[in-house]
Chain A
Amino acid sequence: MARTRSRLTATQETAEGTRRGVIGSRLNATGRRKAVTGGTIRGAELRTAALFIAPGFLLYAVFMLFPFIQSIYYSFTDWNGATVNMPFVGLANYIDMFKDPLLWSAGWHTVVWIVVGTSVPVAIGLLLALLLWSNTKFVVFFRTLYFIPFVIPVIVTGIVWGWIYHPLFGILNSMLEFFGLDSLTRGWLGDPNTALVAVIVAAIWGSFGFVTVVLFAGLQGVDRGIVEAAEVDGASWLQRARFVIIPMIAPVLTLVTAITLIGGFAVVDYIIIMTQGGPGTASEVLGSYAYSKAFEQNSVGYGATLSILITVLSLVAAVAFLRFREREQ
Chain B
Amino acid sequence: MNSKLAQARAVNRSASGAAVAPPGRARHAGGTLLKYVILGFFALITAYPLILVVSTALKDPLQISVNPFQLFSSFHPQNIVDAWQIGQFGSFFFNTVKITVPVVALVVALSVLAAYALARLNFPGKGLVFLLFTLGLMIPFTSVMIPLFYQLRDMGLLGSIWAVILPAVAGSAGFGIPLGVFLMRGFYLDLPNELAEAARVDGATEFQVFYRVMLPLSAPGVAVLSVLVFFQTWNTFLLPLLYLPGTENRPLATGLYQFAAGRTQDYGLIAAGALIMAVPVLVIFLIAQRQFVKGVTTGALKG
Listed in ascending order, the chain A residues whose CB lies under 8 Å from chain B are 19, 22-23, 26-27, 29-30, 33, 42, 44-46, 48-50, 52-53, 55-57, 59-60, 62-68, 70-71, 74, 81, 124, 127-128, 131-132, 134, 136, 142, 144-157, 159-161, 163-164, 166, 169-171, 205, 208-210, 213-214, 217-218, 229, 232-234, 237, 252, 255-256, 259, 262, 265-266, 268-269, 272-273, 286-287, 290-291, 294-295, 300, 303-304, 307-308, 310-311, 314-315, 318
Chain A interface, >50% SS class: helix
- Closest chain-B Cβ to A325's Cβ sits at a distance in Å of 10
Report if B21 contacts A (CB, 8 A): no
Q: How far is the CA of A291 from the CA of B148 in the complex (A)?
A: 13
Q: Give the contacting residue for A50; candidates B123, B150, B194, B253; CB below 8 A.
A: B123
Q: Does B43 contact A (CB under 8 A)?
A: yes
Which residues of the partner chain A approach B200 to less than 8 Å between Cβ atoms? 30
* Beta-carbon contact of A232 and B9 below 8 Å: yes
The answer to the question of B297 belonging to the interface, with a C-beta cut-off of 8 Å to chain A, is yes
Given the complex of chains A and B, what is the CA–CA distance between A292 and B272 in angstroms? 30
B178: Cβ under 8 A from any A Cβ: yes
Pull 27 A–B residue pairs with CB atoms less than 8 Å apart, ordered by A: A30-B201, A46-B124, A48-B117, A48-B121, A52-B117, A53-B113, A55-B110, A56-B110, A63-B151, A63-B167, A63-B169, A64-B136, A64-B144, A64-B171, A71-B143, A144-B286, A144-B289, A148-B282, A156-B53, A163-B68, A164-B52, A171-B69, A213-B293, A214-B297, A214-B301, A262-B138, A307-B146
Partner among A49, A56, A155, A169 whose Cβ is within 8 Å of the Cβ of B111: A56
B144 touches A214 (CB 8 A): no
A67 B9 Cβ-Cβ under 8 A: no
Within the complex, the shortest CB–CB distance from A210 to chain B, in Å, comes to: 7
Known pairs A70-B151, A146-B43, A286-B142; list 9 more (Cβ under 8 Å). A23-B194, A59-B166, A74-B147, A128-B38, A142-B39, A152-B278, A156-B278, A217-B297, A294-B149
Is the Cβ of B170 less than 8 Å from the Cβ of A63? yes
B146 & A71 in contact (Cβ 8 Å cutoff): yes
CB of A148 within 8 A of CB of B46, answer: yes
Residues of chain B from 104 to 141 with CB closer than 8 A to chain A in the complex: 106, 110-111, 113-114, 116-118, 121-124, 126, 129, 132-133, 135-136, 138-141
**Taking the complex as formed, is B197 at the interface, i.e. its CB lies under 8 A from any CB of chain A?**
yes
The answer to the question of B19 belonging to the interface, with a C-beta cut-off of 8 Å to chain A, is no
A148-B50, A153-B237, A156-B53 as given contacts; A252 in contact with B301, CB under 8 Å: yes
CB distance from A44 to the nearest CB of B (A): 6
Kindly state the separation between the CA atoms of A169 and B64 in the bound complex, as whole angstroms: 10
CB pair B50–A63 under 8 Å, yes or no, is: no
Q: Indicate if the CB atoms of B113 and A159 lie closer than 8 Å.
A: no
- Name the interface residues of B244-303: CB closer than 8 Å to any CB of A: 252-253, 256-257, 260, 267, 270, 274, 277-278, 281-282, 285-286, 289, 292-293, 296-297, 300-301, 303
Nearest CB of chain B from residue A277's CB, rounded to whole Å? 14
Residue of A nearest to B181 (CB): A56
Nearest to A304 among chain B residues (CB) is: B146
Chain A nearest CB: distance from B180 CB in Å? 8
Q: Considering the complex, which residues of chain B in the window 8-41 have a beta carbon less than 8 Å from any beta carbon of chain A?
A: 8-9, 12, 16, 31, 35-36, 38-39
Q: At the interface, is chain B mostly helix, strand, loop or mixed?
A: helix
Cross-chain contact of A259 among B53, B126, B242, B303 (Cβ < 8 A)? B303
Contacts of A145 in B (CB 8 A): 43, 46-47
Cβ of A204 to closest chain B Cβ, rounded Å:
10
User: What residues of B have a CB within 8 angstroms of the CB of A148 in the complex?
Assistant: 46, 50, 282, 285
A234 touches B235 (CB 8 A): no
- How far does the alpha carbon of A199 sit from the alpha carbon of B111 in the complex, in Å? 35
**Residues on B with beta carbons closer than 8 Å to the beta carbon of A170:** 69
How distant is the Cα of A269 from the Cα of B42 in the complex, in angstroms?
25
Pick the residue among A46, A128, A171, A315 that contacts B138 (CB under 8 A): A315
When the two chains form their complex, are residues B293 and A53 in contact, meaning their CB atoms are under 8 A apart? no
Q: Is the CB of A232 within 8 A of B12?
A: yes
Q: Give the A-binding residues of B (Cβ under 8 A).
A: 5, 8-9, 12, 16, 31, 35-36, 38-39, 42-43, 45-50, 52-53, 56, 67-69, 106, 110-111, 113-114, 116-118, 121-124, 126, 129, 132-133, 135-136, 138-151, 166-167, 169-172, 176-178, 181, 193-194, 197-198, 200-201, 205-207, 210, 231, 234-235, 237-238, 241-242, 252-253, 256-257, 260, 267, 270, 274, 277-278, 281-282, 285-286, 289, 292-293, 296-297, 300-301, 303
Query: Measured between alpha carbons, how far is A52 from B193 in the docked complex, in Å?
Result: 19
Interface pair B53/A160, CB less than 8 Å apart:
yes
Q: How far is the CA of A19 from the CA of B190 in the complex (A)?
A: 16
Which single member of A67, A70, A255, A268 contacts B300 (CB below 8 Å)?
A: A255
Known interface pairs A70-B151, A295-B149; A163-B138 also in contact (CB < 8 Å):
no
| Chain A, residue nearest B171 (CB) | A64
Contact status B143-A156, CB under 8 Å: no
B residues near A63, Cβ cutoff 8 Å: 144, 148, 151, 166-167, 169-170, 172
